[in-house]
Structure 1
Amino acid sequence: MKAVEVTEGASPVILGMPHTGLHIPPTIMKRLNLRGHMMSDTDWHVEQLYAGLLTDATRVRATFHRYCIDANRDPEGASLYPGQNTTGLVPETDFDGQPIWNGGEKPGPVETRERIFLYHKPYHEALASQIARIKAIYGVAILFDCHSIRSEIPFLFEGKLADFNIGTNDGTTCHPEMEKAVAEICRNADGYTTTLNGRFKGGWTTRHYGRPETGVHTIQLEIAQSAYLESEDTPFHYSELKAANLRPHLSDILHRLEQLALDGVLDRAVGS
């Protein structure tokens, strides 16, 4: 199985999906314990949630599970949130802080480097290639990084997460008009809650590629799974009813971002 699926489109918007993959090779799966086999930290059904919302968007999707290696972590292993609980490049625990590997089976440095080569590197090569392709067409490229997470995970954060969690690394990864547009649509979405650069400020992908001064704009949206799943527990079924209420807002976001690029707003320097 290829590590990454790419669907090329002509829109200036690229959808990144690093955490929807479910593939774990048998040689790795047999080393995971029962909690690891649950794969509960998957961004469940995010590809279905965004399907068809912006028909000409490019999509870059990792097919491998984050327990193989996390495509949204620094390949050098640096923490995204120093001093806070999180999971690493090759997670040792799940989001609840519980071990996912059988005793003595967690990968060491040599195997981690191999997994970077087999999984992490191909995903980011594909992503970088699509960003370059779109930028060559429009002069700018928008990477919209699509994520979801359970709304209550005490190991990672206190209380209940907002429905929409927008990350721009404190405004550094995209044009201010992009951040403003996404935040406005989310805050005006009736029945949903929104946080900007709260617990999730954007992962390594958002921070690594987001260089507004070069024409590459990135933004991460972490959606609470309570907003579109039947239940935030196994078997994590997709709720058609909840999704039908949520998808129009996501569509508004993607179309608004596309229009900002097509109107040349992202070409203009801040303050011009």
Structure 2
Amino acid sequence: MDAANPSSLALDVSANPNAPADAVRVARPSGPARPIVFASPHSGRHYTSEMQSLTCLTLDQLRRSEDAYVDTLIASAPEFGAHLVTAQFPRVFVDPNRGPWELDPGMFSDRLPDQTAPVSRRAASGLGVVPRIGVEGRALYRRRLRYAEARSRIERFYEPYHATLEGLLSGLRGTHGFVLAIDMHSMPDASARGVDFVLGDRFGSSCDPRVTDRVEAVLRDQGYVTVRNIPYAGGYTTEHYGRPADGVHVIQIEINRSLYLDEARVAMAPGFPGFEAEMRKIVRELTHTDWSACVPA
């Protein structure tokens, strides 16, 4: 991670012996843990030789699909008592914000197992768990993949990420009776011009409205423009884990990249340090909020 202290990061130990040791990183609070997990599934920038040998895009083109440096923006979370989970692999290689069955049969040279059918809308559009397209709809691969290649990626990268996230949510929920996962992303400026943050709670189904209200208030108190669920209501993580009636709340936050990034170059903009300081304040406010009202009776 670019701006974080590597010594503060503990590598997750996956149950899968074939998973790369650095597929997922967990930064754990040094003191008592609050019932908050920040996650960054799309900021990974470790491009393997396997990926680069298969793709017809340049590394610069591949990187434009990243939620670049979101992990850096929220690196302060453990300092304030929250866990931080980051995928180190890029989303164009395997996307942890999709279901493991979301595959596009048209990108494979062999038949997919029955459990991958029917094809989801996201997979059909080329944005499944193993994406077919990258930025601007450009094809990623020189050839069709074999299903075994996709299955290997899911087992080595996707499954360790979700095993880590699920384990943290379950443990914190058991200890506190409540847990909040904040799934952090970034969005192109063109996708929501004039909006700084989009909050996705699946139209109220993935977290208690009081949680969304509080998150929105923190952002607006800092002077930012927010909207809810349009154009991003949340992906697999909010759909799969959000169970507010059971005390598990999940909200997706999309940050407008124009606030901190040179989108064309996928480089930190001159204003990055100032915005990083603003994000530090936001992370602190969210971790220090009293969420006890949202604990199920």
TM-score (norm 2): 0.78
The CA deviation string for residues 116-153 of structure 1, in whole angstroms up to 9 with x for no partner, is: 1111101000001111111121011111111112212x
- Within the candidate set 80, 96, 100, 1:71 is matched to 96
The answer for the alignment partner of 1:133 in structure 2 is 171
Cα pair distance change 1:241/1:7, threshold 3 Å? closer
How far apart are 1:34 and its partner, in Å? 2.7
Structure 2: any 5+ residue segments left out of the alignment? 1-19, 103-118
Q: Which residue is equivalent to 1:101?
A: 141
Contact 1:54–1:251 at 8 Å: present in 2 too?
no
Counterpart amino acid of 2:28?
E
Deviation at 1:259, TM superposition (A): 2.3
- Find the aligned partners of 1:93 and 1:189 in 2 and give their Cα distance: 36
After the TM superposition, which residues 53-72 of structure 1 pair with which residues of structure 2 at under 5 Å, given as runs? Answer: 53=77, 55=79, 56-72=81-97
Distance verdict in 2 for CA 1:14–1:245, change over 3 Å: closer
Measured on the aligned residues, the alpha-carbon RMSD in Å equals: 2.3
Query: CA offsets per residue over residues 93-117 of structure 1, 9 Å max, x none?
Result: 1231111222x1x433332122111
Counterpart contact for 1:80–1:204, Cα < 8 Å: no
In structure 1, how many angstroms separate the alpha carbons of the residues matched to 2:220 and 2:135?
27
Identify the residue that residue 68 of structure 2 maps to in structure 1.
Answer: 44
Change (3 A) 1:111 1:224: same
Alignment partners' CA distance in 1, 2:151 and 2:194: 33
- Runs of 5+ consecutive residues of structure 1 not aligned to the other structure: none
Q: For the residues of structure 1 that align with 2:254 and 2:68, how far apart are their CA atoms?
A: 12
**Paired letter, 1:259:** T
Q: Does 1:224 align with 2:235?
A: no
Question: Displacement of 1:241 after TM fit?
Answer: 4.3
Q: Contact (CA 8 Å) 1:186, 1:249: kept in 2 or not? A: no
Q: Within 5 A, what are the aligned runs for 1:44-193? A: 44-53=68-77, 55=79, 56-77=81-102, 79=120, 87-102=127-142, 104=143, 106-152=144-190, 157=191, 160=193, 162-190=195-223, 192-193=224-225
CA shift at 1:67, angstroms?
Answer: 1.5
In the alignment, structure 1 residue 12 sits paired with structure 2 residue 16: no
Aligned equivalents of 2:199 and 2:121: distance in 1? 16
For 1:129 and 1:193, locate their aligned partners in 2 and report how far apart those are by CA, in whole Å: 34
Aligned partner of residue 252 in structure 2, secondary structure: strand
CA contact 1:71–1:123 (8 Å) conserved in 2: yes
Structure 1 residue 251 and structure 2 residue 271: aligned? no
- The residue that corresponds to 1:234 in the other structure is 265
**Count of equivalent residues:** 255
How far apart, in 2, do the equivalents of 1:36 and 1:67 lie? 11
1:208 aligns with 2:248: no
- State how far apart, in whole Å, the 2-side matches of 1:206 and 1:25 are: 28
SS in 2 for 1:47: helix
- Kept in 2, the 8 Å contact 1:6–1:59? The answer is yes
Letter matched to residue 25 of structure 2: E
Q: Is 1:260 the counterpart of 2:293 in the alignment?
A: no
Percent identical across equivalent pairs? 29
Give the drift of 1:244: 4.5
Tell me how far apart the structure 2 counterparts of residues 82 and 143 of structure 1 sit (CA, whole Å).
25
TM-score (norm. length: structure 1): 0.85
Q: Measure, in 1, the Cα distance between the counterparts of 2:67 and 2:243.
A: 26
Instruction: Check whether the contact 1:20–1:43 (CA below 8 A) recurs between aligned residues.
Output: yes
Amino acid corresponding to residue 198 of structure 1 in structure 2? I
Give the Cα separation in 2 of the matches to 1:24 and 1:82: 22
Query: Aligned partners of 1:248, 1:89: CA distance in 2, in Å?
Result: 31
**Structure 1 residue matching 2:149: 3-state secondary structure:** helix
Matched residue type, 2:131: P
Contact map agreement 1:167 1:197 (CA 8 A) in 2: yes
